[in-house]
Structure 1
Amino acid sequence: MDGGNAAYRAVGRDGDGRGAGDVVVGRAAEVERISGLVDAIAGGGRLLVIAGAAGAGKSTLLDVAARAAGAAAYRVLRVSGRESERDLAFAGLHQLLRPVLSEAAALPDRQRRALLHALGSEPDAVPGATPETGYGAGPEAALGGRTASGGGPDLLLAGVAVLSLLSRLAGRSPVMVLVDDAQWLDAASADVLAFAARRLDDDPVGLLLAVRDGEPLPGFEPAYPTLALTPLGGEASGRLLDHHAPDLPRRVRDRILDQAAGNPLALLELAETAIADPGAVLRDEHGPLPVGERLAALYAARLAELPEAGRRALLLLAAADVADPPAAVLALLPAPDHTGPDHTGLDDKVRVAVEQSGLVRRTGRDLRFRHPLIRSAVYHAVPLDARLDAHRALAGALRGEPDRRAWHLAAATARPDAEVAAALERTAGRAMRRGGHAAAAKALARAAELHPEPGDSARLLVAAAGLAVLTGDLDWVEELAGQARARSDDPAVHAAAELHAGRLAALTGRHPAVFAGMARIAEDLAGTHPSIALDALTTAAVLRFYSGEESQRREIDRILPRVAVAPADEPLRDWVRMVSDPLGSRRELAARLPAMIAAAAGRPERLTALAIAAWLLDEIAPAVRAFDEAVRLWEGRGPLPDGLGGVTALAWLEYGRWEQARAVCAAIAALPATARSLHHARACAYAVDAMALAFQGDAAAARERADEALRLVDPLESRSVAVYARRALSAAAAVEGDYETAYEQVRAVFGHDGEPVHYHASYPALPELAAAAARTGRRAEAAGIVGRAARALARDGSPRLRALVRRSAALLAEPADAEPEFLAALAGPAPERRPFEHAQALLEYAEWLRRRRRIAEARPFLTAAHDTFRRLGARPWAERARAELRAAGLDVSAAEPAAFAELSPQQQQIVRLAARGLTNREIGERLFLSPRTVGSHLYRAFPKLGVTTRAQLRDLVAAAPPDEPFAGRYG
């Protein structure tokens, strides 16, 4: 707790000294808002962040909410963030859900297993280490971003489980979730709670979070409603002080009010001191009152007044924090002749002295500090040797809790100790199995500090940096990498450390500098450490794709032949070539891809890498199959690496799985606060999402996403993102009939000379360029660009790219010359694998036919295009096809009620999945919503669609794609 209960709650006293009632002074508006929120929960989810300085009264407001919720027969769940547990993965979630964990038995099996696994129910195991990194998956983990080292729970699936659990509880009575000291929640618990919070709109669940001013709120958006606790005003401060200490001399009272500056905790604590010794407040007339360090000194003074047994008890409590069982702590004290009635081992006199010290409060049979500042004051008020002895004693008492024991051993160790370092390594392994990458990295970093051998210390730091990559905290990764380099002269260690930092820095947009570092590593170690050199080139190839810089391809081509790798690493060498130069390598390597993908079975990192290569070579079907399998395997190992998710989204977007593509983009865009510097990763997600939104017809949202993508990056250093964003802006303009803007935007993905801005991303925009040019009188300019592309792709371009060139040529050709080009375009490979692209070609050819009055020939093409657009949710294109069908003499208005198009994109997704026969729970798991929210959306959609049963939806929504979308983590 943050001490707020003591901070501004004034307790009335009756004759026997017991509290007769709590009076909250100076916070009437805040209490009213809390009460209103509690009342509103029955109508749907509510969230409020209570922010204030330490001692401002956040805990008291949570108590107000708890009392109001209890009075209304709500279920109340509470968790208090603990500084000592912020490195223990899912500690907060365990504290919150422990009272209702039996309800998990009713969850779907995958959700239940994910939740219990996150809470540490599975046996401990330490994943194996690789020679290159100490922990991790080997060189292929460098292929563009974060990887998950070691098995661990799926955070999103755990989030779905919590969402389902809260929704289930809320089905019986509204639920109030109270989170105190949220700034100290462990990252895994914060992410899961934030995930659930964003999806409880329709469930009667309230979430109140108390956080200290100036502290980040991990996982939660800064835009959430916030109740800011400002300092109390003069009148309220006076009332609080008078209520608590009515007999203070005026001069003492004024001095306290002046120096407390409206901080309730300072008011009350200074008042307590003044009651005991009024002269203490006035001892220094010319200096400030002891609110900061001097306030801590007051706590230390109280500590010194206690008997030795009492001081030792509080020191142990301070060293242990409230997380450790008080019985295990107090059992360490010297046993008196007889124990007190609470069986703590303290005699009555010592126990009374401790409780009357004002430093602690009793909660049931347990002692708790009244404020974290008190704990800090007690802890630092004793010499270092005493603190070390306390941690050693706690470590001895906690043999049954190996993780906490390891941290206490580390805190008790002032010099190198290999055994303690080994205990922390084991703790890191257990944290990794639970998906606690940040906790594991911190354990390894501390183990490195304690290891007596510099080489092992450097190894542990490299491993810690590799795990820290998964947190997205680039500053931390670079700090760990720098420490590793400082502890070793081994070039391989230096390179491995720099590689970890480079993998994450690649997602920031600092592409030229990071590429230069990767190229230098590859060149320096090509002969002595070829595996590391190749690893560096994989990151360099990713950077080449991000930037589209031609000079980087030449640099990779220069270094790659010098790296003599083992036969087992030849696929990785091929991968570098495919990514950095897909046109130049396609003819040689495309035929080898199926065998390479088959050989990678069971290895998600390599499968994902090969899926990227297949996508770059326009082998979309094997790419999607490999992505599906990789995501399935990733489910038990943590989140999909951010650097790879953007390409996964692009592949699914092309394949017609728009819902899945947007889910991936949403996951990447919602990076935690520590990863906010990964601008390129977020920009890519925004750009791809913008394309999907434009295709669905939401032009305003598409522009917003695309503009944000362009704001986050330098278009000259992140050309791939710039191209996708421009394509989205062009499509959005076309949706609104603004073809001038559409042409200007898509023209920007080609240079002044007609060369593509990006060697891979630009070419698919050719038909969009041609279509806009045909409507704006820019045929000649566009034809020049299309002709240049035709020559560049004649030999090495994929069949898909050559078909796009023919389609573009058809749109720009004279009427008499267009039909052969249209037919060649429609004869391209496997049209069902890129349904939107193919349906556009069908529509364009059908429009050409109808203008030639070949109406009977146009009808089948129009019908096929219309059905595809409707199935995908491409509303503007479906309306355009429907208008053409009407012009061709076919009435299709009954096939798709206009009301369906008026549903929100999320409602359309829910209705489509319901039409396939999925239950509310299954839909919620796919879209990361609670079953209650799904039901609420369907309840509102049914009257709009004019249906009363789910079976009727099948008549309104087209069937699912022939290739059933993967119902996994992003599905």
Structure 2
Amino acid sequence: MGEHTCDRGAVVESEPDSRELLVGRGAELARLFRAVDSVAAEPVLMLVGEVGAGKSALLDQAALRAEAGGARVLRATGSESESSLAFSALHQLLRPVLAGVDGLPGRQRAALRDAFGEGSATSGPDLMLTGVAVLSLLSGLGDHHPVLVVLDDAQWFDRASLDALSFAARRLEGEPVTMLIGARDSDRVPGFDRHTPTLTLEPLDDAAANQLLDLRPKSPTGRIRARILEQAGGNPLALVELTRTASTQERAAGPPSTGPLPLPDRLERVFAARLDSLPASTARALLLLAAMDSADWTVAVSARLPCAEDAAWIPAEQAGLVRRTSRDVQFRHPLVRSAVYHAASSGARREAHLSLATMLRDEPDRSAWHRAAACPHPDAAVSAELERTAGRARRRGGHAAAARALQRAAELAPQREESARLLVEAAAAAVFTGDLAWVEELVAAVRTRTDDAALLASATVRAGRLAVLAGRHLRVFSRLADAAEELAVSQPAAGLELLAGAAVVRFYSGEDAQRHRIRDILRRLQANASHAGLRTWVRAVSEPFDDWAQLVSLLPQLAAEAEGRPERLTAVGIMAWLLDETPQAVRAFDEAFDRWELQGALPEGLGGAVAWAYVERGRWEQAREACARITAVGRATGLDHAVACAATVEATLLAFQGEVSSARTRAEEALALVDPLESRSVAVYAHRALGAAAAAEGAYGTAYGRLRMIFTADGAPVHYHASYPALADLAAAAVRCGRHEEAAAIVERSATALADNTSPRLRALISRARGLLADPEDAEPHFRAALADPGLEYWPFERAQTLLDLAEWLRRRRRIAEARGPLTEALEVFRRLDAHPWIERARAESRAAGLDVTDAAPDALAGLSPQQQQIVRLAARGLTNREIGEKLFLSPRTVSSHLYRCFPKLGVTARSQLRDLIEGTLATAAHQQ
């Protein structure tokens, strides 16, 4: 009777030509089959279970099912040692289809090649562009047949691969692509968050465990069976392996030991016991395979291990340690690899790693890690080799891989100061992973190795940069402020950088006491001409309306100094936005992004300012693009606060455009991601979005309630910057729900607090609020004041709202002819922005004023979602599906699907008609106005 045992799951012995059975996993297997049989099922499913639970066996069965149905199956298996090699898992997954990379658009093709170290990039590839390239490649494969992506042992995937794969995974809906992920713990797979559908493999129940034992040859009985069941605890691998061991023992030896070692240690002993009788050539080949620790057989070929057909593997296969095919040799389970590796002496392990380092000299990164593994003591040459590996990883966007290489290089550096320098560099790379605990661990290690003030300050700044983006703002502020204060005299530049981070935390938290602390520390930091930009940043971020005019006067010089330097231009843009110099902010952002596409880095502090500036400027499509980028990076790095910031912007846009249900969903998601008391800025933006959604439905009482929440009980702003722009909307809701007096008190309190030291934009919003709340005979001067500054056209939506308010007032005063001009201008803006609730209000008022407004033609896109409208407009401009997908982070198939659904709604049958449709819509609207 033949025997085939899959040690990675509950596959039992069977005749050689019969189908293997999985015991006790019928429900789980059925769910996996549903996933691979139907595109409309779950595009992504994570399979979670402990070692030996049967994840790999289930994934094998799903892959066989998919292949039998005509699907293309792509697989990658993680290994612990290769988690330090950037994009190694992605390369393993896509190697069979790399020819398809040539068919990708140029930028995507270059991004993937850079990621795989085949390009000429001098800086890391754009994380989102790499993710879009993966999505496009998988989607393109789906043009020919369904695609199943199987990611096994994903907890060992390198971070760069996970970032790209998780980016693609979130966009698989509607694609003929299914992704199955096997992992020991879903919390250990960055990028695949709690929203990823998860199937957990629980231990087998008693009935299934007994059934599995019954199917084994020489099924155990009596006390031995009871002991196996007790020790295995429902783990299928333990049941199989302990039964195999028991069946080979002499019965007189009694039942297996019941010692206190945990189950994995017992299994390692089980596997290690099989090594004793192996030939020397087999033992050496196994140790090399274990030391190599790669599921990618091409690496073994490069390392010149015996080929799969070599007789050296036969004894290992007969002992149940490896699985051979005509193509490769793999350990039957990670515990086998662990047992083989740890059963060898330390000298034998070092010799194996040195042999691999020599054989893999054409793969310098792998070679460097093997040399490091063979080092029992510090070694300057190996440390330098790892530092070079880190440089290559960083250029490819592998920040986690770079940080790990630098951390190991620091451990091998003979000199303490050199070790400290490398740890600072490791912390700088680790910042981009979003793992604050790791960064702080590296910084703590720096402190144990050096007293160098500059290095210590640099390490503290690295940790501070990431801490700024964490959610616990009150605790983080104290840490940053304390560090800035300590460095104020000895390292003023580092102290100022930390204070700049503290100012960002102050913005997020909105805590007023922090303003005074920042001001005190800033006074203590010696002024230096080279630090002017950072000092201005601290002031603009922490209290923009304290000395508004003077801060605004500094912006042109700062912009000139930042020319050609994208990071500094972005900082200038953020300051300009905070000071309500939105046109200058948008110019800075445009120039920065023309020169520098964000390359997988963290969202910069206050990165949401980019999206808000585009919203205010009336460039809503670009605002959505900015939100998509912030969301993608925030999710990849586990920074919920960044995701929440983007969600509030999206919620606001959705509300303005009448997508009320979606707006509420996004705003509530933002509130769920943060502590509103720690993140007042997010809470205020979310309540503003919810207020706008309620107003869009005409529920003005609800709208007022939401907007009232962004001011304290006595009428002060909850947030010193985010609350003020809502004053006019608060007033508009108040006059429609009978809360006139309360709203008027809040407006006047804010006007007094701001006095004359504020922006024309805020003065206009206050004037609009006063006009809405004034007695009818007194309202006109306030509306006229709100429209007086011609520069306010740079805030088109806010200006159009004021024009509509003035027109409504004029018509009610029977000054109908005067109302028509503001109405026409307001309606044009609302139509351009697709602000449907406002279009309806303006059209109703226009008809009441005697204007001939046709309902249908100007609203040709009204039945489309905001994303569909974006796609249609880009298609009308002549962009291809690939170009649109690259711009909006979608696959070409998703773009095509949206267009296919849009054509009937728009009454067109060809792409070429879209331009005429949109131009005709605008022309008709202009004519009817």
> For the superposition of Structure 1 and Structure 2, which TM-score range results when normalised by the shorter chain?
over 0.9
Q: Do structure 1's residue 564 and structure 2's residue 526 form an aligned pair?
A: yes
Is the contact between residue 487 and residue 495 of structure 2 (CA under 8 Å) also seen in structure 1?
yes
User: Residues 716 and 341 from structure 1, CA distance in 2 versus in 1: closer, same or farther, beyond 3 angstroms?
Assistant: closer
Structure 2 counterpart of 1:148? none
- Structure 1 residues 88, 812: CA separation in 2 closer, same or farther (over 3 Å shift)? same
Q: Aligned residue for 2:926?
A: none
Q: CA deviation at 1:746?
A: 2.0
Residue 896 of structure 1 contacts residue 956 of structure 1 at CA under 8 Å; is this kept in 2? no
Q: Secondary structure at the match of 1:352?
A: helix
Q: 1:584 aligns to what SS in structure 2? A: coil
| Aligned with 2:37 (options 22, 31, 39) | 39
Residue matched to 2:832:
871
Find the residue that maps to 1:773 and give its secondary structure.
Answer: helix
Higher relative contact order (CA 8 A, sep 6+): 1
Deviation at 1:152, TM superposition (A): 0.3
Inter-partner Cα distance in structure 1 for 2:480 and 2:805: 46
Structure 1: any 5+ residue segments left out of the alignment? Answer: 126-150, 332-339, 963-971
Residues 1:780 and 2:777 are matched in the alignment: no
How far 1:939 sits from its partner (Å)? 1.5
- The whole-number CA distance in structure 2 between the counterparts of 1:153 and 1:960 is 40
Matched, 1:586 2:548: yes
- Matching residue of 1:545: 507
| Cα offset, 1:212, TM superposition | 2.2
**Distance change >3 Å, CA 373–CA 570, structure 1 → 2:** same
Distance 1:303 1:633, change over 3 A: farther
State the match for 1:55 in structure 2: 52
Structure 1 residue 617 and structure 2 residue 600: aligned?
A: no
Are 1:77 and 2:74 counterparts?
yes
CA distance in 1, matches of 2:447, 2:300: 42
Structure 2 counterparts to residues 722-871 of structure 1, below 5 A = 722-871=683-832
Which of 304, 326, 337 is the equivalent residue of 2:300? Answer: 326
CA contact (8 A) 1:608 1:644 kept: no
Q: 1:691 is matched with which residue?
A: 652
User: CA 1:164–1:366 in 2, change beyond 3 Å: closer, same or farther?
Assistant: closer
Give the stretch that moved more between structures: 618-627 or 316-325.
316-325
Q: Distance in 2 between matches of 1:606 and 1:198?
A: 32
Match of 2:363 in 1: 401
| Pair 1:705–1:214, CA change in 2 (3 A) | closer
Give, in whole Å, the separation in 1 of the partners of 2:514 and 2:261: 62
1:381 aligned residue:
343
**Segment of structure 1 superposing worse, 740-749 or 646-655:** 740-749
Cα displacement (A) at 1:896: 4.7
The residue type paired with residue 833 of structure 2 is: L
How much has 1:474 moved relative to structure 2?
1.3
Q: What aligned pairs does 1:377-456 form with structure 2 within 5 A after superposition? A: 377-456=339-418
Q: Distance in 2 between matches of 1:912 and 1:229?
A: 47
The number of equivalent residue pairs is 917
Q: CA–CA distance in 2 between the matches of 1:287 and 1:410?
A: 36
Q: Using the TM superposition, give the Cα deviation of residue 287 of structure 1 relative to its aligned residue in structure 2, in angstroms.
A: 5.7
Q: Does the CA-based 8 Å contact 2:114-2:120 persist in structure 1? A: no
Structure 2 residue 29 is matched with structure 1 residue 27: no
355 and 597 in structure 1: CA distance in 2 versus 1, 3 angstrom threshold: same
TM-score (norm 2): 0.92
In structure 2, the residue matched to 1:337 is: none
| Alpha-carbon distance in structure 1 between the residues aligned to 2:601 and 2:319 | 48
The correspondence of residues 604-683 of structure 1 with structure 2, limited to 5 A, is: 604-635=566-597, 637-639=599-601, 641-669=603-631, 675-676=637-638, 678-683=639-644
Contact 1:794 1:802 in 2 (8 A): no
Please state how far the C-alpha of 1:110 moved relative to its aligned partner. 0.9
Distance 1:940 1:281, change over 3 A: farther
Could you list the per-position Cα deviations for residues 197-222 of structure 1 after superposition, in whole angstroms to 9, with x for gaps in the alignment?
A: 22222221222222224653321233
Provide structure 2 residue ranges, at least 5 long, that are not aligned to the other structure. Answer: 924-929
Q: Is the 8 A contact 2:628 2:888 kept in 1?
A: no
Letter in 1 for 2:124: G
How far apart are 1:330 and its partner, in Å?
A: 5.5
Instruction: Give the structure 1 partner of residue 114 of structure 2.
Output: 117
Aligned-pair distance for 1:84?
1.6
Q: Is the 8 A contact 2:684 2:722 kept in 1?
A: yes
Q: Cα distance, 1:923 vs. partner?
A: 1.9
2:442 is aligned to 480
Distance in 1 separating the partners of 2:95 and 2:151: 14
CA drift at 1:376: 0.9
Amino acid at match of 1:466: A
Q: Distance in 2 between matches of 1:221 and 1:286?
A: 39
For the 8 Å contact 1:656–1:834, the answer to whether it is kept is yes
The aligned counterpart of 1:265 is 237
Residue 862 of structure 2 is matched in structure 1 by 901
What is the deviation of 1:449? 1.5
Q: Is the 8 A contact 2:213 2:219 kept in 1?
A: no
Letter of the structure 1 residue corresponding to residue 76 of structure 2: V
Query: How far apart, in 1, do the equivalents of 2:883 and 2:223 lie?
Result: 68
Amino acid across the alignment from 2:37: D
Which segment is superposed worse, 587-596 or 799-808?
587-596
Is 1:159 aligned to residue 131 of structure 2?
A: yes
Q: CA deviation at 1:369?
A: 0.8
| Aligned-partner SS, 1:452 | coil
Please name the residue that 1:9 is paired with: 11
Mapping of residues 242-391 of structure 1, within 5 Å: 242-246=214-218, 248=220, 252-279=224-251, 282-284=254-256, 291-322=263-294, 323=296, 325-327=299-301, 329=303, 348=311, 350-364=312-326, 366-391=328-353
Counterpart for residue 879 of structure 2: 918
Q: Distance in 1 between matches of 2:922 and 2:484?
A: 44
Aligned in 2, Cα 1:823/1:436: closer, same or farther, shift over 3 Å? same
Q: Which residue of 1 aligns with 2:888?
A: 927
Out of 266-275 and 760-769, give the one that drifted further: 266-275
Farther off after superposition, 422-431 or 772-781: 772-781
Corresponding letter in the other structure for 1:8 = A
Tell me the CA shift for residue 809 of structure 1.
Answer: 1.5
- Percent identical: 58
Evaluate the alpha carbon distance shift between residue 78 and residue 923 of structure 1 in structure 2; reply closer, same or farther with a 3 A threshold.
same
CA contact (8 A) 1:176 1:205 kept: yes
CA distance in 1, matches of 2:634, 2:543: 33
Displacement of 1:258 in angstroms is 4.5
Q: Give SS of 1:292's match.
A: helix
Q: CA deviation at 1:615?
A: 0.8
- TM-score normalised by structure 1 residue count: 0.88
Change (3 A) 1:77 1:713: closer
Q: Distance in 2 between matches of 1:938 and 1:268?
A: 54
- Distance in 1, matches of 2:699 and 2:302, equals 72
Residue 470 of structure 2 corresponds to which residue in structure 1? 508
1:494 paired to 2:468: no
Task: Kindly provide the CA deviation profile for residues 147-184 of structure 1, in whole angstroms up to 9, marking residues without a partner as x.
Answer: xxxx2011111111111111211112222222211222
Contact kept in structure 2, 1:5 and 1:59, CA below 8 Å? no
Cα distance in 2 for residues equivalent to 1:954 and 1:212: 52
- Separation (CA, whole Å) in 2 of partners of 1:926 and 1:808: 38
Distance change >3 Å, CA 373–CA 844, structure 1 → 2? same
- C-alpha contact (below 8 Å) 1:871/1:957 kept by paired residues: no
User: Which moves more between the two structures, 596-605 or 878-887?
Assistant: 596-605
Tell me the CA shift for residue 301 of structure 1. 1.3
Distance in 1 between residues matched to 2:105 and 2:260, nearest whole Å: 60
Deviates more, 1:482-491 or 1:705-714: 705-714
Q: How far did 1:278 drift?
A: 4.9
Q: CA deviation at 1:952?
A: 4.3
CA 1:625/1:278 → structure 2, altered by over 3 Å: closer, same or farther? farther
Q: Secondary structure at the match of 1:527?
A: coil
Deviation of 1:438 (Å): 0.9
2:927 paired residue number: none
Secondary structure (helix, strand or coil) at the match of 1:583 reads coil
CA shift, 1:532, in A, is 1.2
> Which deviates the most, 699-708 or 876-885?
699-708
CA drift of 1:475 comes to: 1.2
Q: Is the 8 A contact 1:4 1:55 kept in 2?
A: no
